[in-house]
Structure 1
């Protein structure tokens, strides 16, 4: 199934949750998944709901990686 991730189409498997997507992207990029905020169809998905939120065909997902510094 296809979703839109940060403005780009992405093919994912059925039954994927927000948590699994974040982990997949973390594995691919090496970035820490703990510092990610997720918006699904223009609504923030609280971290407490990442594992329970199933992605659906056509969902528009925006991921923002927090970056610390000094």
Structure 2
């Protein structure tokens, strides 16, 4: 399937938001996920299926000062 991830077209084999996060080796506790303009709550990352054509933004939290 094809998705748009952080503004770029990507091929994705399918699965859930959590599968996508793991594929990119991200820590799910340190990111926010937006799918088709709506925030996906962390509790449902593993239950939310990624669909062909989805527009997904993965935003990493970084500390600083």
Q: TM-score, normalised by structure 2?
A: 0.92
Q: What displacement does 1:34 show?
A: 1.8
Give the structure 2 partner of residue 2 of structure 1: 2
Count matched residues: 65
In terms of fraction of residues, the more helix-rich structure is: 1
Give the structure 2 partner of residue 32 of structure 1: 27
Name structure 2 gaps, 5 residues minimum.
none
Q: CA RMSD in A?
A: 1.1
Q: TM-score, normalised by structure 1?
A: 0.85
| Runs of 4+ residues over 2 Å off in structure 1 | none
Summarize deviations over 1:19-69 as a string: whole Å, max 9, x none: 01011112xxxx533201000000000000100000000000001000012
